[in-house]
């Protein structure tokens, strides 16, 4: 299948792109390099450097490459930032998604996979969270994703474009020692903890230890990025049977203290931790009920063990202490929009591209 992967140079998108290439699909990565990294794009994928805000460039890319399916990872992805900059998430994320959907519908793309989020559930009434749980987005980030989910329903109805909305819990781990997480700035727990182990930070701050949880720290469902990505491929194939929505997590919850303790065991570093105030917008516990995706797609996490997840991340961070170390966050050269290149060639190129207005890679 020919598949367009937006945000395919980012953390989760690049892993999905690698898995698609490995399965023999014809992959076109579309990325602005606002947050993505050239070196993350798998050999064998083609590359379109474009910003989803540039509807003309998006339309041209879809017209040229004629994808049968789209995986849409490119997005602003930070809950906290969305509380500071709601229009980036209620505006940009939604507008860019709409540009993509409009062109996809116009050019007859039949399959669409959306990176959605557990933030749709805000403060969940019950845990683990199944797909029937009340939707009450916890932030403009979650609200923007929910708007896109709702749009997809109508685009399926009106154009027959089948979709899967995958509501991620906490993506973590690395596909290989050469393909892992590299955000700037980094805000996620596991990479921050490992930066302490690398000596790049003095300590990690625990955002509150007075939560109603067994050890007082927040509980999250950390799911290996490779498992997350493989769910996209299964969903892509399953769309023959109709559109669908899944909560996508490990199904197991781990507290912040458990993460830090496991990282100490994996790295052999004492990883000092200090307790700070709660982070606004954090729910106490988020854990996915994975029954639907298991039953319908036969998906199950292969790397469900926290130790395995952290060990894979540690291999990546230890080998690449400065991440991809490229210029992936540099300002855009607008002449790049819509340019197509072979990724193997573009990886060697020293030029830097990005987006002035900032869609990064999703996840
Ligand atoms: N967290 C923390 N200290 C940090 C970063 C995160 O205690 O420096 C906590 C955060 O409050 C949450 C969990 O770790 O309970 C996972 O946070 P992360 O930002 O990785 O993902 P999120 O749950 O926000 O998607």
Q: What are phi and psi of 67, to 5 degrees?
A: -65, 150
Write the residue with the smallest CA distance to atom 6 of ligand 1.
189
pLDDT at site 39: 96
CA dist 155 and 200 (Å) reads 47
> Which tens digits make up the pLDDT trace of 4-42?
999 999 999 999 999 999 999 999 999 999 999 999 999
The number of the ligand 1 atom at minimal distance from the alpha carbon of 259 is: 14
The pLDDT confidence band at residue 354, using thresholds 50, 70 and 90, is very low
- Which residue among 216, 217, 279 has the greatest number of ligand 1 atoms within 8 angstroms of its CB, and so is best to mutate? 279
63: its two tokens: 């017209």
Evaluate whether 149 touches 116 at the Cβ level (below 8 Å).
Answer: yes
Question: Does the C-beta of 195 come closer than 6 Å to ligand 1?
Answer: no
Q: Is residue 243 over pLDDT 60?
A: yes
68 ligand 1 Cβ < 6 A = no
What is the pLDDT confidence band of residue 325, given thresholds at 50, 70 and 90?
confident
Tell me how far the alpha carbon of residue 189 lies from the centroid of ligand 1, in angstroms. 5
Whole-angstrom CA distances from 52 to 62, 101, 103, 154, 226 are: 12, 11, 11, 21, 25
Q: What is the mean pLDDT of residues 89-97?
A: 98
**Residue 320 CB burial class (10 angstroms; 0-12, 13-18, ≥19):** middle
* Residue 333 pLDDT: 31
CATH superfamily for domain 2-171+224-248? NAD(P)-binding Rossmann-like Domain (3.40.50.720)
Q: Which helix (H) or strand (E) holds 31?
A: strand 26-31
Predicted pLDDT of residue 312: 98
State the pairing for strand pair 111-117/222-224.
unpaired
User: H or E segment at 311?
Assistant: helix 306-319
The CB of 170 under 6 Å from ligand 1? The reply is: yes
Active site residue 11: no
* Given 11, 34, 89, 141, the catalytic residue: 141
Per-residue confidence (pLDDT) for residue 282, from 0 to 100? 87
- Residue 74: the pLDDT is 98
* Burial environment of residue 129 by CB neighbours within 10 A (0 to 12, 13 to 18, 19 or more): buried
| DSSP string across 210-266 | -SSSTTSS-EE-EEEHHHHHHHHHHHHHHGGG--EEEEES-S--EEHHHHHHHHHHH
82: closest CA among 53, 119, 52, 114?
119
pLDDT the model gives residue 259 = 98
The rounded percent of the chain whose pLDDT value lies above 70 is 90
State the DSSP code for 349.
-
Q: Out of 80, 116, 145, 189, give the residue to mutate to test ligand 1, the one with the largest number of ligand atoms within 8 Å of its CB.
A: 189
Token pair recorded at residue 354: 């990005």
Could you tell me if the CB of 220 is within 6 A of ligand 1? yes
> What atom in ligand 1 is closest to the CA of residue 279?
11
185 C-alpha to ligand 1 centroid (Å): 14
CATH of 175-221+251-343, one of 3.40.50.920, 3.30.70.100, 3.90.25.10, 3.90.470.10: 3.90.25.10
Parse the chain into domains and list their residue ranges.
Answer: 2-171+224-248, 175-221+251-343
């Amino acid at each position: 299948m020919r598949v367009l992967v937006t945000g395919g140079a980012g953390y989760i998108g690049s892993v999905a792109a690698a898995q698609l290439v490995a399965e023999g699909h014809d992959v076109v990565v579309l990325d602005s390099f606002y947050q993505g990294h050239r070196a993350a794009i798998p050999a064998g994928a083609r590359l379109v450097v474009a910003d989803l805000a540039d509807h003309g460039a998006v339309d041209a890319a879809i017209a040229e490459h004629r994808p049968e399916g789209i995986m849409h990872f490119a997005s602003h992805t930070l809950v906290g930032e969305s509380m500071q900059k709601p229009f980036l998430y209620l505006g940009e994320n939604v507008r860019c998604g709409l540009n993509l959907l409009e062109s996809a519908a116009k050019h007859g793309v039949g399959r669409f996979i959306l990176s959605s989020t557990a933030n749709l559930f805000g403060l969940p009434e019950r845990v683990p969270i199944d797909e029937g749980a009340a939707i009450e987005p916890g932030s403009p980030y979650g609200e923007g994703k929910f708007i896109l989910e709702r749009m997809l329903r109508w685009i399926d109805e009106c154009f027959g474009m089948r979709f899967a909305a995958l509501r991620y819990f906490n993506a973590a781990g690395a596909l290989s020692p050469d393909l892992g997480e590299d955000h700037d700035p980094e805000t996620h727990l596991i990479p921050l903890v490992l930066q302490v182990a690398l000596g790049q930070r003095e300590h990690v701050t625990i955002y509150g230890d007075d939560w109603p949880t067994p050890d007082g720290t927040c509980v999250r469902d950390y799911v290996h990025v490779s498992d997350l990505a493989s769910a996209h491929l299964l969903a892509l194939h399953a769309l023959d049977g109709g559109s669908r929505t899944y909560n996508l997590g490990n199904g197991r919850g781990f507290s912040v203290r458990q993460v830090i303790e496991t990282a100490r065991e994996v790295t052999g570093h004492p990883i000092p931790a200090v307790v700070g105030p709660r982070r606004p917008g954090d729910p106490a516990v988020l854990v996915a009920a994975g029954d639907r995706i298991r039953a319908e797609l036969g998906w199950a996490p292969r790397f469900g063990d926290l130790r395995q997840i952290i060990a894979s991340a540690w291999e990546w961070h230890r080998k690449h202490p400065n991440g991809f170390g490229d210029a992936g966050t540099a300002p855009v050269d607008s002449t790049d929009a819509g340019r197509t290149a072979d990724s193997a060639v573009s990886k060697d190129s020293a030029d830097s591209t990005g987006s002035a207005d900032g869609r990064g890679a999703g996840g």
